[in-house]
Structure 1
Amino acid sequence: MVTLIQKIYICYSLKIFNMENLLTRSISALIYAGLFLFAILFSKETYIGLITIFAGISLWEFSKIIGLKNIIPYILLLVLSIFAYKGNSTLEKTWTLFLLALSILSGIKLLINLFSEGFKKRNKFGSIIIQIEYVVLSFFFLMLLPFINNEYHPNIIIYIILIIWTNDSFAYLVGKNIGKNKLFERVSPKKTIEGFIGGLVFAIIVGGIIGKYSNEFSILNWVIIALIISVFGTLGDLIESKFKRQANVKDSGSIMPGHGGLLDRLDSLFFLAPFVYLYIHFLM
């Protein structure tokens, strides 16, 4: 009888815990989404300001993961935020292209490291460089994403976030229900090939729908953007997972109750930003 009562108590406690955890996650997600949406729609100043704050927090979380805190990446982040605020006329096109090339090459280097075996050790200088390459430059192009010919188009970033949400949601649903083949087990054991394909397909569908009803780009361009978002968003999540695995930590932080850190929530978005920016401004 005692054993049965104990089992009932444990099951009831777990149920209450899961309900409380779900409520915490939901409230945290609503606050985060509401703040993000308000900043995007209110003005370009609030958008750039919030992204700068998010970048600073993510940089702080990442510095803890790699075990190095230095002021240089924060100074560079502030300088680039001012450039983004003043518009591309302040930062000459050649410099923008140079920083984009550097960011793209850095992303490729991170992808090579993702698929390499073992863990790479870095000295102090190398750790500062990886903070700039991985976080600062990526967030800089996230700031620039909604700007076309120096005009602010908030719908662009909203549509991109919608595609990311679609990709992540359906990757989870498809992977959970029919996923059998692991995508990258040694870095992220829960991701499956079936889930990745499911997320990709639905992201492309949503991209096509956006292209049909939006005024920014054509259907084909939104489909290609959705493809870039799905692929590089997934890779960005895997890259952050490898950094955390190297540091032997579960979450990048605890600023979002029930979700972890901001770096955990934004890893897909800021990593894909330079690649989407490249397509929109130079390949379309």
Structure 2
Amino acid sequence: MKEILVRTISGVLYISIIIFAMFTSREWFMGLFFVLAVITLSEYLKLVHLTSYLAYFLLAAAFYFLSYDVFADNAVYLLLILSGFVNLFLLKDVLWTSKIPMFEKKKYITVVFYIISGFVFLTLIPIMDIDGPFKPELIVAVFILVWSNDTFAFLVGKNLGRHKLLERISPKKTIEGFVGGMIGAVMAGFVIFKVLENFIPMDAERYPLWIWVSLAILISIFGTIGDLIQSKFKRQAGVKDSGIIMPGHGGLYDRLDSIIYASPFIYAFLLIVDNVS
């Protein structure tokens, strides 16, 4: 009971800070997520046994030149393509290799095109029109889909889970939990659309119901993959959690692993939808 209480209080505080920063201003949003990115990067570097001040410089430069003040749209699109390839290679390593290679070059590739780019695209989502206004409701909706997927996956998996999803990497994950998480995310997508339809009709027209359902399914799939990838990193490092900053949850990397991996695919999906429509 005490562990559940600590976990709940920690989670509520974490969610409250994120939502507060999102709706305050773009500067507050960028500032908070830069701090989150620095802490997550620090946890990741420890996990893969890499000491690098260069990584923090690259993070700061990417945040400023590719997210806050984009110097070239094509640079963002190039980063998106490279990040997609690296993330898919990480998926391949999870499925078909017993151990993700951890030599120096691969470490820096994952630092740039997995961790850093994950945060860059996360902070680009609320400004899908790069020169357009900051739309916090879009990134809040994405986080709600992620949290809904995680919550329903946990509840369904714990109570109904019988068949393991990928036992050699994450023994607690089940197929039932994965399906439950996806259903929960789709339900949340339906609620989000109805809220937008009633309060922000322009956004509901731009992003109709089928987009939210598709986004929910995409987040459920890629978010789960991101969680499995992080689980494999931790298993190789021989640790239970990536950090201790969040009581009952572990580190920030533990909380953000799903969205970090999924964000380039979310951004690409919304980019395609905007361009096609």
Provide the TM-score with structure 2 as the length reference: 0.91
The runs of 5 or more residues in structure 2 that have no matched partner are: none
Counterpart contact for 1:211–1:220, Cα < 8 Å: no
Counterpart contact for 1:203–1:230, Cα < 8 Å: yes
1-structure distance, mates of 2:113, 2:62? 13
Tell me if 1:65 matches 2:43: no
Q: Looking at CA atoms only, which structure, 1 or 2, has the larger radius of gyration? A: 1
1:179: how far off? 1.3
SS of the residue 1:145 aligns to:
helix
2-structure distance, mates of 1:95, 1:218? 29
Tell me if 1:252 matches 2:242: yes
Q: Which moved more, 1:29-38 or 1:221-230?
A: 29-38
Tell me if 1:270 matches 2:270: no
Q: Which amino acid is 2:125 matched to?
A: L
Q: Which residue of 1 aligns with 2:28?
A: 46
Q: Which amino acid is 2:100 matched to?
A: K
Tell me if 1:220 matches 2:210: yes
Tell me if 1:261 matches 2:258: no
Distance 1:53 1:159, change over 3 A: same
Q: Which residue of 2 aligns with 1:104?
A: 84
Match of 1:118 among 68, 78, 98: 98
Q: Which amino acid is 2:233 matched to?
A: F
Q: Which amino acid is 1:280 matched to?
A: L
1:84: how far off? 4.7
Tell me if 1:210 matches 2:192: yes
Counterpart contact for 1:209–1:219, Cα < 8 Å: no
Q: Which residue of 1 aligns with 2:38?
A: 56
Tell me if 1:140 matches 2:130: no
- The alignment yields a C-alpha RMSD, in angstroms, of 1.4
SS of the residue 1:254 aligns to:
coil
Tell me if 1:183 matches 2:173: no
SS of the residue 1:119 aligns to:
coil
Q: Which residue of 2 aligns with 1:238?
A: 228
2-structure distance, mates of 1:220, 1:282? 14
Tell me if 1:30 matches 2:12: yes
SS of the residue 2:173 aligns to:
strand
The runs of 5 or more residues in structure 1 that have no matched partner are: 1-17
1:49: how far off? 1.1
1:134: how far off? 1.6
Provide the TM-score with structure 1 as the length reference: 0.89
Q: Which amino acid is 1:248 matched to?
A: G
Q: Which residue of 2 aligns with 1:14?
A: none
Give structure 1 regions of 4+ aligned residues with deviation exceeding 3 angstroms: 84-87
1:271: how far off? 1.0
2-structure distance, mates of 1:27, 1:209? 25
- Percent identity for Structure 1 against Structure 2: 40
Output one character per residue of 1:211-249: Cα deviation in whole Å (capped at 9) or x when no partner.
Answer: 233142111111111111111111111110000001110
